[in-house]
Amino acid sequence: MGSTAASFDLDNIQGDIWPGLLKRYQKFIFFTIDNATTFKPMLKRLVDDEVITTANDALKDRVAISKVAQAQKGKPSKPGIVGSFLSLTETTIKSIHDLLPEHDHIQRAQGSSDIALARSNIAFTNKGMAKLNKDLLFKDDPFLKGMYADLHGEGRDREEQWLSAFKSDSVDGVIHIAGTKHEVEEKAKHLVESYLGQKSIVTTIEGKERCGAEGHEHFGYLDGVSQPLLKGLDDEAAAKPGAIPQRTRPGIILFGHDGEMDNEPRLMHPPWAKDGSIMVFRKIKQLVPEFDRFLEAEAPKLHLTADQLGARIVGRWKSGAPVQLHPWEDPVAKETDPAKKKELATWNNIEYPTQDQFNCPFASHMRKTKPRSVIDNDDKFDIMRRGIPYGEEMDVDEKKGTKSQKDRGLLFVCYQTSLSNGFQFIKNRWINPDTFPAGKKKFTGGKYPPGQDALIGQSLKNPIDEDDKLLHIMVYDDHDKEHKRITFDPWIEAQGGDYFFTPSLDLLRKLGASA
């Protein structure tokens, strides 16, 4: 079952799934449904009033940015908005370009030269979907349980670190608004006043692009580079230099398309789920001063600089350039051509040797979360990531210190059609076990397995063995010609979240009309 652009109804898919909502600022409004009978007409109005942003709308935003940028050639350009890694094809630009106003009539954000953006999507927990229609039965076990039972009850999350809103079982859904700050705040206020009602709000959480470090998360590394390219939607972009050579079947991300559960009918969701996706939301605090001090202390023991050790832990330099291809210095730092800099920073055509970790450790974040040739089914475990940082930058005193003083981190968001193959699988089978990838102990010195994901791994709650009380990663010391074990405490604290179903526009209309 092949996929072409004609296979997709881009007015039926919510835009954050694909191609992604552009965001300098994002607000997540988590709500409860007290009365489904009164909520459903409001849901219908959200669709009828075109409040929900479609994939087509999100493409138009990208073309609008492109149109303004073309008109401003020769002028200083600002860094790209979070979520803008998708490269527009000439076909897409031509098909939309002339439908938009002239560049000087495209509305600008308040106090900025950015185009004004405030785009909304909506999604529901399993409990929320049951309130809307108890006959729509989901087949994904982690989704049915919810994140609290899945990652706290059976996983490694800590009760004391979770926000109370996500422990209360009161969240039925989320509306998230992305774009430019003033416009997002105004739209969020309008949505609460005119649609949701203040009494239904459980909590709100804001994320924002880092000032002066756009596109980078708080540890300092370029984020969102290694995204799957969907067959039929990203084919032209996939032909560009440095693109990941593998194509992801669209059903891995979107229900009702080729690849969903390997096209096994008994495992696939019914037609009502088509063009929807399961969204993960997770608030992750990052312990930045602690991470920085660790790099400074441990790097000399491996005859590395802090930046070199950080690149090995992440799998990329802070610029985004892959350490497997550039093990000793960041190539972006000495490149002067802006186009070449971007190409080096976003290069994703990487393959890892199966029998060595000389350049990039087996337990690096990159190799743990996208192991490439280590696994046979190359796209089955893909997820589409749409996160954004939150919190303030470190001040001078905090930078000098060893402990985090403020709450900052990542609002992690991803989409997939199977949590059991996607987010949950990656976290439980790849990130946290020190034995993945399997059978590599002989290539890491013979004594210890590769280790946990050195960036986002979590500790066991009640370790018995001494070796399990700390996380570890095996790193090759090129000076001493040996693999060395580094131990560490986690650099993150999971503060909670949930699993949500992001329905198609058609299903939203049907749910809204069923009152």
Tens of each residue's pLDDT in the chain, 515 residues: 556 666 899 999 999 999 999 999 999 999 999 999 999 999 999 999 999 999 999 999 998 888 887 777 655 444 456 665 555 666 777 777 777 788 777 888 898 888 999 999 999 999 999 999 999 999 999 999 999 998 876 789 999 999 999 998 999 999 999 999 999 999 999 999 999 999 999 999 999 999 989 999 999 999 989 899 999 999 888 888 899 888 999 999 999 999 999 999 999 999 999 999 999 999 999 999 999 999 999 999 999 999 999 999 999 999 999 999 999 999 999 999 999 999 999 999 999 999 999 999 999 999 999 998 777 767 999 999 999 999 999 999 999 889 999 999 999 999 999 999 999 999 999 999 999 999 999 999 999 999 999 999 999 988 888 778 899 999 999 999 999 999 999 999 999 999 999 999 999 999 999 86
- Contact assessment for residue 133 and residue 172, using Cβ atoms and an 8 Å cutoff: no
Q: Please give the pLDDT value at position 91.
A: 72
**pTM for this model (two decimals):** 0.95
User: What pLDDT score does 151 carry?
Assistant: 85
150: CB partners within 8 A, 6+ apart: 142, 419, 424, 499
List the one residue out of 18, 388, 419 whose CA is nearest residue 208. 388
Q: Which residues contact 148 (CB under 8 A, 6 or more apart)?
A: 162, 166, 167, 169, 496, 498
Q: Is residue 167 classed as helix, strand or coil in its secondary structure? A: coil
Q: Is the peptide bond before 437 cis (omega within 30 degrees of 0)?
A: yes
Query: How does DSSP assign 186-212, residue by residue?
Result: HHHHHHIIIII-GGGEEEEEEEEPPTT
Q: What is the pLDDT of residue 335?
A: 96
Token pair recorded at residue 426: 């990656």
Predicted pLDDT at 76: 43
